[in-house]
């Protein structure tokens, strides 16, 4: 894809991070392959990040209130129609969530909860509508925030009571801040081996640091250098494995997952897994990310997400 003044990227459910492919049963030798879901990461301990959940056949999410679920907009939007909410996440729909961390072929521990409403950040909806054809969404020049909140019915509060709540940390993520990226997604990169083992019930984690704006400028990048400031104002950037073999890359199914501040609590969310950049396909045919993009949630971000989250009832940690 050539960089241009206005970036248009394919809908994430097709070539991005969205984990909306059907869940696969992975057994035998494939279990070991499915154990590296967050490419370059490692399996989390069951107690490390208890607020991180997976939605069956969809994305990684976070419990950020008694009945509030944080995720990426592209996990729940109806990209083929108006930019509104997909039917599977509309009022009255039932989703299944799990915080299990077990082998992919082990019994699932999903909880069925009902949705009261799903709210996508309005700037994302506007950009999706502007794309016009349901197969693309504009990330620049405005770099809309890829974030949404699922509000469950009051009954879900009791159903999810045993799962701790994480707080959204509104303090800005600065360069070299220590972060933890998490996800239940696939492995092998965008063009790698399939099927993607979304729903594999093995949460993966990787400790890393935030990168400077200049990391967005590289061969094969989707955006021109003139747009990096706009993107950087809306997204925190971490290194992918193609940039540094000691790092980890996001993969389909990791979308919507939380980025935690690495402060030892496992409870302070500073970003949402959203997108990534790659080297040219002839250099990396498996398309393992060069940078990982995470929607910024802090009050200093381009979109000042904090007040919007607070209005929806999300638990926030004010600086």
Q: Can you give the CATH number for the domain in which 124 is found?
A: 2.40.10.10
Q: Does a structural domain hold residue 41?
A: yes
Compute the distance between CA of residue 315 and CA of residue 150 in angstroms, rounded to an integer: 13
DSSP state of 153: P
> What average pLDDT is seen over the chain?
81
pLDDT 10s digits, 97-122: 988 776 555 556 889 999 999 999 99
Q: Does a structural domain hold residue 94?
A: yes
Cβ distance 221 to 280 under 8 Å?
no
Compute the distance between CA of residue 169 and CA of residue 211 in angstroms, rounded to an integer: 18
Specify the number of domains making up the chain. 1
pLDDT of residue 292: 96
Q: Does a structural domain hold residue 87?
A: yes
pLDDT of residue 106: 56
Q: Does a structural domain hold residue 319?
A: no
Q: Which residue has the higher pLDDT, 174 or 69?
A: 69
Element (H, E) at 15: helix 12-15
Q: Does a structural domain hold residue 315?
A: no
Burial class (CB in 10 A: 0-12, 13-18, 19+), 16: buried
Q: Does a structural domain hold residue 8?
A: no
pLDDT 10s digits, 50-67: 999 999 888 999 999 999
Q: Does a structural domain hold residue 11?
A: no
What domain range includes position 196? 20-308
Q: Which residue has the higher pLDDT, 199 or 151?
A: 151
**Strand-strand pairing, 94-98 and 52-55:** antiparallel
DSSP state of 47: T
DSSP state of 107: P
pLDDT of residue 242: 92
């Amino acid at each position: 894809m050539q960089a241009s003044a206005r970036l248009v990227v394919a809908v994430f459910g097709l070539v991005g991070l969205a984990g909306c492919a059907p869940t696969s049963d992975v057994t035998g030798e494939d279990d070991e392959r499915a154990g590296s879901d967050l490419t370059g990461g490692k399996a989390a301990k069951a107690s490390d990040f208890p607020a991180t959940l997976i939605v069956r056949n969809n994305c990684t999410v976070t419990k950020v209130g008694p009945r509030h679920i944080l995720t990426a907009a592209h996990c729940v939007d109806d990209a083929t129609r108006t930019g509104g909410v997909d039917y599977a996440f509309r009022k009255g729909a039932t989703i299944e969530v799990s915080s299990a961390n077990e082998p992919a072929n082990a019994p699932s521990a999903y909880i069925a909860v009902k949705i009261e409403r799903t709210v996508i950040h309005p700037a994302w909806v506007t950009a999706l509508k502007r794309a016009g054809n349901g197969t693309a969404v504009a990330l620049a020049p405005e770099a809309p925030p890829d974030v949404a909140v699922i509000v469950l019915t009051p009954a879900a509060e009791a159903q999810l009571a045993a799962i701790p709540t994480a707080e959204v940390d509104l303090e800005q993520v600065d360069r070299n801040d220590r972060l933890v990226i998490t996800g239940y997604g696939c492995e092998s990169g965008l063009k790698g081996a399939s099927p993607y083992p979304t729903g594999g019930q093995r949460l993966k984690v990787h400790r890393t640091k935030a990168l400077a704006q200049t990391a967005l400028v590289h061969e094969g990048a989707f955006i021109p250098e003139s747009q990096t400031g706009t993107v950087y104002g809306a997204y925190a950037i971490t290194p992918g494995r193609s940039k540094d073999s000691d790092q980890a890359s996001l993969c389909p199914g990791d979308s919507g997952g939380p980025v935690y501040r690495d402060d030892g609590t496992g409870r302070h969310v500073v970003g949402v897994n959203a997108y990534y950049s790659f080297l040219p396909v002839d250099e990396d045919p498996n398309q393992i990310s060069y940078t990982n993009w995470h929607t910024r949630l802090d009050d200093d971000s381009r979109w000042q997400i904090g007040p919007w989250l607070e209005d929806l009832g999300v638990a926030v940690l004010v600086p």
